[in-house]
Structure 1
C-alpha cells in the first residue's frame, strides 16, 4: 500500500512540474514519531511511476462540406444585405444616368456669338454731345453722338440757291421756246401767203404769155408777169428757209432746256446730299443693342470712318463646336438646353439652327494640309449654330461667354423620364 506522499507524487499532471512541487519534494522528511513504523534499512522504496502528460481537449473536426471558419454573410448578415441593396441601387441609378445621357449630345467648347461691329460717322466735324455711356443699352434709332451741323446747314442753303438758279434757267428757256414757236407760226403764215401769191403769179404769167403768143396782149405785160413769178418763187424759198431756221432754233432751245433741267436735277441732288450730310451729324444705332468700348468724347474732331464705339446687337446665338462623331443624330430644329457659366443657376432654351458644312479648321486662315508629311487622324470639330428662343433680358450676355449646350438628339423618353412621369 502506497503512502500518501507516493500517492501525491503519482497524481496525474499535465507533464509540467512546478517549482513549488519540486521544492516540496526536495525538502527533508521530518523525523518519524514513535508511533511511526520504521522501514527496515534493507527494504527498498517502491519505484515511482513517471509523470503522465495530459493532452488538452481537441475540438471535434468539422464535418465534410463545412468551413472551418464562418463566412462574412454569417458573421455580418445585416451589413451584407445592406451592401447588396446599395449595390443594386447604385447599379440601377448608374443605368438611369447612362440611359438618360444617351439621349443628349453635349460639349463645353461652346460660346455666345454676335455680329458685333464698330460705329463710325459718315461726315467730318467736331463732336458736340455724347448722350450714351459704356455698356448702355440703346433702342433702334438711339443717338450715339452729335456732330456740329452748322457747316452742313450752310451747304443746304447753297444747294437751294443753285436749285433756284436752275429753275430760273429752265423757265427762261421755256419762255424762249414759246417765243420761237410763235415766230414759227408767223413764218409759216408768211410762207403760206407767199405760196398763194406764187400760185397767182404762175397763173398770170401763163395767161399773159399765151396772149402774147397769139398777139392778143403785149409782150411787156407777159415779161412783167414772168418776172413777178420769179420774185414770188424767191420769196417762197426765202420764207421756207426762214421757217426751217426757226424750227432748228426750237430744237436748239429744247436741248438748252434739257441741259437746264439736268442742272436743276444736279442742284436738287446737292440739296438731297446736303440734307443727308446734315442727318449724318446725328450718329444713331440702326438696331437695338449695347454700346461697348465707347471712345467718342465731346470736342473731338472726327473724320469719316473714325471708330466711335463698338456695338453689340441684341440678336445673338450660340456656336457649339461638337466633335464630328457627335453629329450622327443631330438635325435642325432639335431642342437645346443651355447652361451659362456666368449664371450657373439660369437655364435657357433654344434649338439647332444649322450645322456648318465643314470643320472649323477648313475655314481657318491656314487650313491643315493632310496630303503632306506624316498623318495622324484627329477628330475634327464642326461649328453648330444654336438659336436662343427667349434670351433673358435681366442678365448681360455677349460674345465670347462660355456656355454648355445639351442637344436632345433622341426625342423618345428615357427610363428616368418615364419613371418620373409615373410618380
Structure 2
C-alpha cells in the first residue's frame, strides 16, 4: 500500500514542476513582446497620386516607409513643363513690351494731336486775316484805289486760307481717330498680357507639382 501511495505523489510532483517551469518560460517570453488589445498595430496608409502627367524621374522613399507631412517622396520629369513655363514667360514679356509700345505711340499721338490742334488755330487766324484783307481790298477796288487784279489776289488768298482751315481740321480728326484706335489696341494687348501672366502662374504651379509630397505623416 505504501508503494501505491508514492506513485500519485511522484506523478503530482512532476506535473507541478512542469507547470512551474512552463510558467516561468511564458513570463520570460512575454517580456520580449508588446501586447495589444486586438493583436494589430495601427498605421496610416495614404495613396499619393501626381496632379500633373509625366514620367517618374526619382522615387525618394521605400515601400511602407514612414514619412513626414510635406516630405518629397517622388519627382516627375519636369523638362516639358519647364519648357512650357519658359515659353509662357517669353510670351508674357513680349506682350508687356507690346503694351509699352502702344503706350509710347499713344504718348506720341497725344503730342501730334496737340500739334494739329495748334495748326487748326493757326489756320483759323490765317483765314481771318485773309478775309479781312479781301474785304479791305474789295472796298479799295470799288473806290479805284487798287487794281482789280490786287483784289483778285486777296480773294484767292482768302480762299487758300479757308481751305487751309479745312485741311488742318481734317488732320486733327485723323490724329484723334488714330489715338482712339491705339486706345482699343492697348486695351486688347493689355488683356492678352494679363492672360499671359496667368499662364505663367499656372505653368509655375504645374512645375511645382512635379514634386510629389506626402499629404500626412
TM-score by length of 1: 0.37
Deviation at 1:187, TM superposition (A): 1.9
Q: In the alignment, what sits opposite 1:251?
A: 180
| 1:269 is aligned to 2:204 | no
**Which residue among 86, 93, 100 is the counterpart of 1:171?**
100
Deviation at 1:266, TM superposition (A): 2.5
**Which residue among 164, 183, 188 is the counterpart of 2:117?**
188
Aligned partners of 1:160 and 1:144: how far apart in 2? 29
Aligned partners of 1:219 and 1:186: how far apart in 2? 38
Any idea what SS the aligned residue of 2:55 has? Answer: strand
Aligned partners of 1:175 and 1:261: how far apart in 2? 14
Aligned partners of 1:121 and 1:222: how far apart in 2? 92
Deviation at 1:210, TM superposition (A): 2.4
Q: Is the 8 A contact 2:67 2:214 kept in 1?
A: no
Aligned partners of 1:223 and 1:172: how far apart in 2? 51
Q: In the alignment, what sits opposite 1:124?
A: 53
Aligned partners of 2:65 and 2:105: how far apart in 1? 64
Aligned partners of 1:132 and 1:263: how far apart in 2? 46
Larger RCO, structure (CA 8 Å, separation 6 or more): 2
More helix by percentage: 2
Aligned partners of 1:150 and 1:277: how far apart in 2? 11
Deviation at 1:166, TM superposition (A): 1.6
Q: Which runs of 5+ in 1 are unaligned?
A: 1-115, 290-423
When the two structures are aligned, how many residues end up with a matched partner?
172
Aligned partners of 1:228 and 1:237: how far apart in 2? 14
| 1:136 is aligned to 2:77 | no
Aligned partners of 1:132 and 1:253: how far apart in 2? 60
Deviation at 1:248, TM superposition (A): 0.9
More strand by percentage: 1
Any idea what SS the aligned residue of 1:138 has? Answer: coil
Instruction: Write out aligned runs for 1:22-421 (5 A).
Output: 119-127=48-56, 128-131=58-61, 133-134=63-64, 136=66, 138-139=68-69, 141-286=70-215, 288-289=216-217
TM-score by length of 2: 0.68
Deviation at 1:224, TM superposition (A): 2.1
Larger Rg: 1
Q: In the alignment, what sits opposite 1:57?
A: none
Q: In the alignment, what sits opposite 1:111?
A: none
CA RMSD of aligned residues (A): 2.5
Aligned partners of 1:193 and 1:149: how far apart in 2? 66
Q: Is the 8 A contact 2:75 2:211 kept in 1?
A: yes
Any idea what SS the aligned residue of 1:242 has? Answer: helix
Aligned partners of 1:133 and 1:265: how far apart in 2? 44
Any idea what SS the aligned residue of 2:75 has? Answer: strand
Aligned partners of 1:273 and 1:183: how far apart in 2? 41
Aligned partners of 1:154 and 1:248: how far apart in 2? 41
Aligned partners of 1:235 and 1:117: how far apart in 2? 83
Deviation at 1:132, TM superposition (A): 5.9
Aligned partners of 1:195 and 1:213: how far apart in 2? 27
Any idea what SS the aligned residue of 2:173 has? Answer: helix
